[in-house]
């Protein structure tokens, strides 16, 4: 198992612990969630402040170039992770790849919008409250790494080989925090806005620098060059 994969399993365990702790807060210390209301973020201290700092830090690492400890799947939009192939790039094939993967990506986007709309309906009907929306985001926070490490349902639509080549790798925070769009407090709105910024940076780079996102133009994305080894395909090869 690669060092990066070990780190990600440790992070998955940490996220599961966060989910358990948030459930305990929900059951026994609901006052901790008052930080979600209006400007209470600046008026009271809560364990949720630490979680906010972790989330903001994760998103910051998606919008600035980082050389170490961040998978290339998340950083391939930046020039320092682009290694042009030795042969001449086939720009017609590159365009075809970007068009097809973008169509698949927005199928995922539409399906996710349907899910979030359903959550919004439940919230408007009073079936779930503001804390419930927050807990759904924490659940998505756990599911995100399950998709990376164990099984990803979005591959059924995206048809990508692995996370390194995934067209929507940095959509994770936008998807995680999308239930928070129905909340009005600073806590939720700051996370949603930063997630939208990370998504926008990613999408602009896809449009402006498509060659960084294709393994046949960016040699750093090819299996033979992979050092992250996050994907489940790699693990199956090891077991053969």
pLDDT tens across the length of the chain (240 residues): 788 888 999 999 999 999 999 999 999 999 999 999 999 999 989 999 999 999 999 999 999 887 767 888 999 999 998 999 988 999 999 999 999 999 999 999 999 999 999 999 999 999 999 999 999 999 999 999 999 998 889 988 998 888 899 999 999 999 999 999 999 999 999 999 999 999 999 999 999 999 999 999 999 999 888 878 887 655 454 434
pTM: predicted TM-score of the whole model, two decimal places = 0.92
In a domain, 82, yes or no: no
In a domain, 85, yes or no: no
DSSP annotation string for the chain: --HHHHHHHHHHHHHHHHHHHHHHHHHH-GGGGGGGSTTGGGT---HHHHHHHHHHHHHHHHHS---SSS-HHHHTTSGGG--B-SSPP-HHHHHHHHHHHHHHHHHHHHHHHHHHHHHHHHHHTTSS-HHHHHHHHHHHHHHHHHHHHT--TTHHHH--SSGGG-TTGGGHHHHHHGGGGG--SHHHHHHHHHHHHHHHHHHHHHHH-GGGG-TTTBGGGSGGG-S---SHHHHHHHH-
In a domain, 113, yes or no: yes
Domain count, the chain: 1
Domain of 198 in residue numbering reads as 3-63+90-239
In a domain, 166, yes or no: yes
């Amino acid at each position: 198992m690669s060092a990066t994969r070990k780190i990600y399993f440790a992070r998955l365990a940490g996220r599961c612990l966060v989910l358990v702790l948030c459930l305990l807060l929900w059951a026994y210390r609901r006052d901790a969630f008052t930080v979600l209301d209006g400007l209470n973020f600046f008026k009271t201290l809560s364990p949720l402040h630490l979680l906010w700092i972790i989330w903001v830090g994760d998103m910051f690492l998606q919008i600035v170039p980082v050389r170490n400890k961040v998978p290339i799947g998340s950083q391939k939009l930046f020039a320092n992770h682009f290694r042009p192939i030795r042969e001449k790039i086939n720009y017609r094939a590159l365009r075809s790849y970007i068009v097809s993967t973008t169509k698949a990506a927005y199928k995922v986007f539409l399906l996710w919008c349907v899910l979030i709309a359903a959550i919004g309906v439940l919230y408007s009907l009073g079936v779930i409250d503001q804390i419930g929306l927050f807990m759904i985001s924490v659940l998505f926070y756990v599911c995100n790494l399950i998709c990376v490490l164990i099984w990803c349902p979005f591959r059924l639509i995206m048809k990508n080989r692995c996370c390194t080549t995934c067209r929507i790798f940095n959509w994770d925070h936008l998807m995680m925090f999308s239930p928070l769009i129905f909340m009005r407090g600073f806590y939720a709105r700051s996370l949603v806005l930063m997630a939208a910024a990370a998504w926008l940076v990613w999408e602009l780079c896809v449009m402006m620098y498509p060659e960084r996102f294709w393994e046949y133009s960016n040699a750093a994305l090819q299996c033979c060059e992979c050092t992250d080894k996050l994907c489940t395909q790699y693990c199956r090869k090891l077991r053969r």
